[in-house]
Structure 1
Amino acid sequence: MDTPVIDISDVSRTYGEGPPALAGVSLTVRAGEAVAVLGPSGSGKSTLLNLIAGLDRPSAGSVTVDGLRVDRLSETASAKYRRARIGMVFQFFHLLDDLTVTENVLLPARLAGTPRAEARRRAADLLTHLGINRHADARPGTLSGGERQRVAVARALMNRPALLLADEPTGALDSASGEDVRELLTALNADGQTILLVTHDPTLAESCTTRTIELVDGRIARDTAGVLR
């Protein structure tokens, strides 16, 4: 529990001549935490998420996730890192409608080279654990929004990631489906999954995370863990 899953040190990110998207941000997230990052549009939330995911690089500072210096990775190594160490859940699911639910969930394992029988057992276990095993052979387009997000979460967890990143996971859902996803994230964290959630919604943050960070103009303005920067 003492080893940080996320360790960001004095990170800045600038684009062109404009103000920095992030300015000297330092952040530590330990195993088992569920952390929400809040802030208005333009506050730096998406930039922070992209740096953690290895989709962007800082202009200064370091980004370490699960003991790996993400900011130093090549494109190929970054792709491998995303497959092996993090799972990502998005606002609009990004499921493939021409594949079944099981086939969508299996994709990360196939990319990672997991043996077929082992991968299928893992997928079946996840679908059962997340309460959507009855939809294993269905196409995502036949499911409700909440069910599709559960499929997306199962896919994100397929390779047993150290960190689950969730980007506005209830943003495209109605209130009932949103509540379903909130309960799911809470349950996953209770089982020990480390989660970083980016959202505009303070209700989502308060209901399923243990710590809230507010970004304003690229800086941490508030951290309910008690660290202000």
Structure 2
Amino acid sequence: MTGNPLIDMHEVTKTYDTGPPVLAGLTLRVEAGEALAVLGPSGSGKSTLLNLIAGLDRPSAGSVTVDGVRVDELTETASAKYRRSRVGMVFQFFNLLDDLTVLDNVLLPAQLAGMPSTEAAARAAELLAHLGIDRHTRAHPGRLSGGERQRVAVARALMNRPRLLLADEPTGALDNVSGEDVRDLLRRLNADGQTIVLVTHDLALAESCATRTIELVDGRIARDVRAVAR
């Protein structure tokens, strides 16, 4: 592949107080359109990797560049703006606001970014229909199944058309049926061109969704495998 990658992490090290580094001189390039699954045992640095890409944490050494932005050099205010405009995030336990309706949860990132209300309403309607949850627009998240709540979380993450979707154990809190539902959804999003980086222990998720899989061991990339074209 040619050109600049969407994610470029160069010799990144992250340490916390005493003890060995969580990430140890890691270099990683992710191209636009890839679906990267990050595997590894607990403590291998998976969540730290995701947090550094999201600008939620800073490396102790090295650089993190995403979509041309030096994320490791951003102020807190600039980092928040970066996440609103360039990154969508999906979490294991959804992180939806139970006192808001499905629609209001999805609209929230647009409101924070200052998107005009008419444009935001149209975008939310498009996403809810595309993800098959438009019938739940006025419902509250607590009335939905786990798979439906994760679809709402994905819609919210995609609201501002981010270049990058980050997913932290997106099937970890779901039963088998709902997990398969979310796997199908992520596979479809990537087929439509969405770049995805997901941290998971779910091998079925990695095998079905990822175009590339890396395995972290002791803060280093121990394996980097590209999937056979589907």
Identify the TM-score tier after normalising by the shorter chain: over 0.9
TM-score (normalizing by structure 1): 0.97
Structure 1 residues 1-150: aligned runs within 5 Å: 2-150=3-151
Following the alignment from structure 1 to structure 2, what is the Cα–Cα distance between the partners of residues 2 and 208?
24
Deviates more, 1:53-62 or 1:200-209: 200-209
Matched, 1:196 2:193: no
Letter in 2 for 1:20: P
Which residue of structure 1 lines up, in the alignment, with residue 217 of structure 2?
216
Q: CA deviation at 1:5?
A: 1.0
Following the alignment from structure 1 to structure 2, what is the Cα–Cα distance between the partners of residues 152 and 225?
28
Which residue of structure 1 lines up, in the alignment, with residue 175 of structure 2?
174
3-state SS of paired residue (1:159): coil
Unmatched 5+ residue regions in structure 2? none
Unmatched 5+ residue regions in structure 1? none
Deviates more, 1:200-209 or 1:96-105: 200-209
Q: CA deviation at 1:71?
A: 0.1
Q: Kindly, what percent of the aligned residue pairs are identical? A: 77
Letter in 2 for 1:99: L
Letter in 2 for 1:148: R
Following the alignment from structure 2 to structure 1, what is the Cα–Cα distance between the partners of residues 226 and 10?
17
3-state SS of paired residue (2:156): helix
Which residue of structure 2 lines up, in the alignment, with residue 165 of structure 1?
166
Q: CA deviation at 1:2?
A: 3.5
Aligned residues: 226
Q: CA deviation at 1:42?
A: 0.3
Q: CA deviation at 1:97?
A: 0.8
3-state SS of paired residue (1:134): helix
Instruction: Give the CA RMSD over aligned residues.
Output: 1.0
3-state SS of paired residue (1:177): helix
Following the alignment from structure 2 to structure 1, what is the Cα–Cα distance between the partners of residues 181 and 4?
31
